[in-house]
Amino acid sequence: MSMSKTIEEQVHDLGRQALAASRRLALLAEADKNRILLTMAKELERRIDTILEANAKDVEAAGKSGLTSAMIDRLRLNPERVAAIADGIRQVATLPDPVGEILEGWGRPNGMRIEKKRVPIGVIGIIYESRPNVTSDAAVLCFKASNATILRGGSEAFHSNTAIAAALQEGGASAGLPEHSIQLIPFTDRESVKHMARMDQYLDLIVPRGGKGLIETVVSLARMPVIKHYDGICHTYVDKDADLAMAKEIAVNAKTQKPGVCNALETLLVHQDVAEAFYADGGRALLGAGVELRGGDDVRAALGDVVKPVTDKDWTEEYLDLILAVKTVDSFEEAVEHINTYGSHHSDCIVTNDAATAERFLNEIDSATVFWNVSTRFSDGEEFGFGAEIGISTDKLHARGPMALKELTSYKYLIRGDGQVR
């Protein structure tokens, strides 16, 4: 690419090249894709020194530019993390190829035969922030479903992303990866996001992976479909017929086992009939596990001033931390109403021994995954048995909940006949 081209022209070149690559990718056999993946993993490990050197440059620059230590930690690679990236590629090689599956087939009275066949989506744009492992994780998952990718990583990880992408591209090429199957936007200018988002003649889908600000920006600009992985404001509702020991275990697990992720518990709802008993045991257990509770007067009366006063803002807050909003509800209906109103339609749980109440909850809660007596932490592609996932979709179209290989495909209809006309 000549440097006299504008950023828009350069981004369009990548789009055109990706579209051409996607046609070749669609025809790759499963064995070829797996061989390419294993070669990529090997090449990534072979280049570990180059990758760590590139990463050191990013980390040094990040320190100088005043990034927080949490952000620098997300950015930093070490030999174990590079090995984990390579292992991730090998795991994707073991997953079944979704492409080519016949989803349905039927005949029509006029003798024509219709098949609905799973095919790749085509060209997928991934826009992400500081974690350099996304460069590989997202690209190889899209590749396994025969999609071409255009990657736009965070500027703070530019050298790391470039080194990882080069390993995938060059390692892959040596095993038959079509040219331009995986492309990284080769500059950090923010303008490139705008051009990607408008380039619907080449990009079939954009997946923003990052914070709410990034997703909002992409949603505002994009002309093509966007699959969004918004917040998880997840609830556990302790019903009047709950096994309170189980409710305690589920709440503590969902809140504390990994608080910084989207399927962690953020709001606990407790039916008034069991509130006193639950707070005395489960409430204390949460406090004992180091959780800051925020509740109304009755919760504070039950557990003391250690419980901070809750405000309306708490019901829509994704803490991603050891903080939990707690509310006593008068009824099952109030719990459902609260969750459907304030939740993010991600993952919500009821704890109850009453099957009829549970089935109502499963039916009435409008969320991607609804649990009965199971921790919301199981809202996860691996836990579902899907293998690696690209994220948890909070959208309702195309992909809802864990988005894995099948959700990275489209379909087409094939119709065979012998001269049918209307």
Question: Which residues make up the interface to a copy of itself (CB under 8 A)?
Answer: 23, 26-27, 106, 108, 112, 114, 119, 121-122, 200, 204-205, 219-220, 223, 225-227, 243, 246, 249-250, 253-254, 257-258, 340, 358, 362-364, 366-375, 377-378, 383-385, 395-398, 400-401, 410-422
DSSP 3-state of 168:
helix
Rounded to a whole number of angstroms, the minimum distance from the CB of residue 249 to a copy of itself is 6
> What count of other Cβ atoms lies within 10 Å of the Cβ of residue 420?
11
C-alpha dist (Å) from residue 147 to 4, 99, 152: 30, 10, 16
- Cβ nearer to a copy of itself, comparing 302 with 336: 336
Minimum CB separation of residue 261 from a copy of itself in Å reads 11
Q: Residue 351 forms beta bridges with which residues?
A: 238
Residue with smaller CB distance to a copy of itself, 86 or 99: 99
Q: How far is the CB of 267 from a copy of itself (least distance, A)?
A: 18
Closer residue to a copy of itself, CB minimum distance, 126 or 302: 126
* Closest distance to a copy of itself from the beta carbon of 364 (Å): 7
Shorter beta-carbon distance to a copy of itself: residue 267 or 375 = 375
How far does CA 304 lie from the centroid of its chain?
Answer: 38
Q: Is the CB of 296 or the CB of 387 nearer to a copy of itself?
A: 387
Structure tokens of 295?
A: 């509740």
Closer residue to a copy of itself, CB minimum distance, 5 or 223: 223
DSSP bridge pairs for 113: 107, 416
Residue 171 or 391 having the CB closest to a copy of itself: 391
- Pairing of β 113-120 and β 102-107: antiparallel
Minimum CB separation of residue 166 from a copy of itself in Å reads: 29
Q: What is the DSSP letter of 97?
A: P
Closer residue to a copy of itself, CB minimum distance, 204 or 314: 204
Judged by beta carbon, residue 1 or residue 421, the one nearer a copy of itself is 421
User: For residue 266, with 0-12 CB atoms within 10 Å meaning exposed, 13-18 middle and 19 or more buried, which class applies?
Assistant: buried
Least separation, in Å, of the C-beta of 421 and a copy of itself? 4
Interatomic CA distance for residues 144 and 129, integer angstroms:
22
Nearer to a copy of itself, 5 or 416 (CB): 416
Question: How far lies 274's CA from each of 202, 252, 265, 293, in Å?
Answer: 56, 17, 20, 18
Q: Do residues 325 and 267 make contact, with C-beta atoms less than 8 angstroms apart?
A: yes
329 sits in which H/E element: strand 323-329
Looking at residue 107, its amino acid is: G
262/369 Cα distance (integer angstroms): 12
Measured from the CB of residue 397, what is the shortest distance to a copy of itself in angstroms? 4
- Alpha-carbon separation of residue 404 from 142, 145, 199, 308, 381 (angstroms): 9, 10, 24, 39, 7
Least CB distance to a copy of itself at residue 69 (A): 27
Q: How far is the CB of 363 from a copy of itself (least distance, A)?
A: 7
To a copy of itself, the closest distance from the beta carbon of 243 in angstroms equals 7
Q: How far is CA 242 from CA 40, 47, 183, 296, 357, in A?
A: 50, 54, 52, 21, 10
Alpha-carbon span 164 to 40, nearest angstrom:
10
Question: Could you tell me if 269 and 279 are in contact, meaning their C-beta atoms sit under 8 angstroms apart?
Answer: no
